[in-house]
Homo-oligomer: A and B are copies of this chain.
């Protein structure tokens, strides 16, 4: 490509490298249209010097996987990988004068092991993937068709570096069934096998592994109504104004 053709391309496509500012003095450039890697490189260099003049400290580039041709030129301009999901790669370059304060990537996968306990100390459990997130809301649909309400986090388990460099956090959640009309209950018993907590805890495979035994002990204690886990209280965070949830032993706090 000749210099003048390249300059023309920049003129025409310059809006593609506009970005969205973040709260930390950074700018996020999202590439949404196919670009020739040479055109992209010219635009990127121009953007970097413009953003530096504006006093920006970090430049982020989100590259959808279909624009994989732009990964190599981006890295050659001094960008590092930050994180990736199936369909995109996020890269970042620190252009600030001060020391780099680029935030960490996610380090943990989060899973949920849901225990639904009814009034008769019977329960059933299901492990949910980390895509279904822990929240203070009722995790509708997590346990078959039963309407449930979130009670509390009974316990959690951390396993270090269980998957490449990532660690796992598994939250054991206690849920309470919301509706109990007979017809529904019959179907559920058939489909999902309610089991008494005692029968659950006495199973050989539970007794054999101390990890399962520990969880069963917590469930037994809970079924005797003597156990306080962590329950969520919605809190508004200060910086972003978004709602976060604080989980703590509210029984003990309210006793004071």
- Where the two chains meet, the residues of A that have a C-beta atom closer than 8 Å to any C-beta of B are 65, 68-69, 71-72, 75-76, 80-90, 103-110, 129-131, 133-135, 154-160, 162-169, 209-212, 214-215, 217-218, 220-221, 224, 226-230, 232-233, 235-238, 240, 242, 244-249, 252-253, 255-256
Minimum C-beta distance from A163 to chain B (A) = 6
Distance A133 CA – B235 CA, assembled complex (angstroms): 24
Q: Is the pair B215, A163 in contact by a Cβ cutoff of 8 Å?
A: no
Q: Is the pair A89, B80 in contact by a Cβ cutoff of 8 Å?
A: no
In the complex, the chain B residue whose C-beta lies closest to that of A208 is: B238
Contact of A211 among B168, B220, B237 (CB under 8 A): B237
Q: Is the pair A246, B214 in contact by a Cβ cutoff of 8 Å?
A: yes
Q: Is the pair A249, B236 in contact by a Cβ cutoff of 8 Å?
A: no
Q: Is the pair A210, B235 in contact by a Cβ cutoff of 8 Å?
A: yes
Distance A105 CA – B90 CA, assembled complex (angstroms): 14
Q: Is the pair B107, A211 in contact by a Cβ cutoff of 8 Å?
A: no
A162: B residues at CB distance < 8 A? 240, 242, 244
A240: B residues at CB distance < 8 A? 159, 162
A221: B residues at CB distance < 8 A? 252-253, 255-256
Q: Is the pair B230, A253 in contact by a Cβ cutoff of 8 Å?
A: no
A103: B residues at CB distance < 8 A? 109, 163
A89: B residues at CB distance < 8 A? 81, 84, 89
Q: Is the pair B75, A72 in contact by a Cβ cutoff of 8 Å?
A: no
Distance A238 CA – B205 CA, assembled complex (angstroms): 10
Q: Is the pair B249, A228 in contact by a Cβ cutoff of 8 Å?
A: yes
Contact of A86 among B71, B82, B229 (CB under 8 A): B82
Q: Is the pair A242, B160 in contact by a Cβ cutoff of 8 Å?
A: yes
Q: Is the pair B83, A84 in contact by a Cβ cutoff of 8 Å?
A: yes
Minimum C-beta distance from A54 to chain B (A) = 22
In the complex, the chain B residue whose C-beta lies closest to that of A83 is: B84
Q: Is the pair B75, A80 in contact by a Cβ cutoff of 8 Å?
A: no
Contact of A109 among B69, B105, B230 (CB under 8 A): B105
Q: Is the pair B130, A107 in contact by a Cβ cutoff of 8 Å?
A: yes
